[in-house]
Amino acid sequence: MNININDIKNGMTIIMDGKLCLIQDFQHVKPGKGPAFVRIKLKNLRTGAIVEDTYNTNIKVEKAHIDKKPMQYLYSTGDNYVFMDTNTYEQIEIPESTLKDEIKFLKENLEIVINFYNGEIIGIELPEKIEFEIIDTEPAVKGNTTNNAMKDATIETGHIVKVPLFISQGEKIIISTKDGKYSGRA
C-alpha cells in the first residue's frame, strides 16, 4: 500500500529505496524560501544501519505490513535461540545475528514479540522492563556516600550493568531494555 510521505508516523515500517525500514524520527520542514521537505531518521531492519535523509513532500512510500507474534524464549543452542508459540507450541530458531543487542536481555520463559515481514523474521520486541537477579557484584563499601555512585553488577544473562552501591548479590532488579540501564529494585 502506497502512502504519501506526509502521512508517515514514528514507529511505522516502510519500504524506502527497496529497503525495509523503521521510521525512528521525522520532521516536516517548511523553510522560508523553497519547497517544504521531510527529514527522516530510518533504521534498516535487516542490517540495523541508521540513516538520516531529506525527501520531497510529494513522493509516495510503500507501507510494509509487519506481522507480530507473541512467543516465549526457551533456550539457546549456541548460535541459535529457540522460541515457542504459547498457543500452538510450535518452536522456531532465530540466529544470533538477527537478534543483535537483544541477546543480553533474554532469559528463560521471557515473553517477547517476534516481528515477521512476508514470513521473514526481522527482529524481536522485548518487554520495556525486565526483572533480573544479580549473580555477582562487589559488596557495598561503608562510608562511600558519593551522590549517584554506581558499581558494576553481573545479571543472570551474563550482561554487566551499572547499579547503585546499595544493591547486593542475590537481589532482584529491574532493567530498562530501551537503554539497558538499572531502573529500580524488583
Domain final position from 125, 140, 167: 125
pTM comes to 0.79
Q: Do 50 and 93 fall into the same domain? A: no
Domain final position from 20, 41, 63: 63
pLDDT for res 49: 87
Domain extent, residue 94, equals: 67-125
Q: Could you tell me which residues are beta bridge partners of residue 76?
A: 81
CATH, residue 57: 2.30.30.30
pLDDT for res 106: 93
Q: Which is it for strands 19-29 and 37-44: parallel, antiparallel or unpaired?
A: antiparallel
CA distances to 28, 57, 185 from 21, in Å: 18, 18, 36
Total number of domains in the chain: 3
Query: 97 by DSSP, 3-state: which?
Result: helix
pLDDT for res 46: 83
Q: Could you tell me which residues are beta bridge partners of residue 185?
A: 173
pLDDT for res 143: 62
CATH, residue 157: 2.40.50.140
Torsion angle of the four alpha carbons 25, 30, 34, 38, in this order, in degrees rounded to the nearest 10: 20
For the record, the C-alpha cell of 156 comes out as 543472570
Q: Do 110 and 146 fall into the same domain? A: no
Residues 66, 123, 47, 132, CA torsion sign:
positive
Q: Do 94 and 143 fall into the same domain? A: no
pLDDT for res 141: 66
**Nearest residue to 154 via CA among 143, 170, 142, 166:** 170
Measured between alpha carbons, how far is 76 from 148 in angstroms, rounded to an integer? 36
Q: Do 59 and 74 fall into the same domain? A: no
pLDDT digits (tens), the chain, 186 positions = 788 888 888 889 999 888 999 999 999 888 888 888 999 999 888 888 899 999 888 889 999 999 999 999 999 998 899 999 989 999 999 998 888 788 899 999 999 999 999 988 888 999 999 999 999 998 866 666 666 788 999 999 999 999 998 888 999 999 998 888 999 988
Measured between alpha carbons, how far is 162 from 113 in angstroms, rounded to an integer? 27
Q: Do 172 and 147 fall into the same domain? A: yes
Domain final position from 97, 125, 153: 125
The conformation of residue 100, written as its DSSP 8-state character, comes to G
Q: Do 133 and 181 fall into the same domain? A: yes
**Nearest residue to 47 via CA among 97, 101, 118:** 97
Measured between alpha carbons, how far is 54 from 35 in angstroms, rounded to an integer? 12
Q: Do 79 and 110 fall into the same domain? A: yes
Q: Do 150 and 119 fall into the same domain? A: no
pLDDT for res 142: 64
Q: Do 101 and 117 fall into the same domain? A: yes
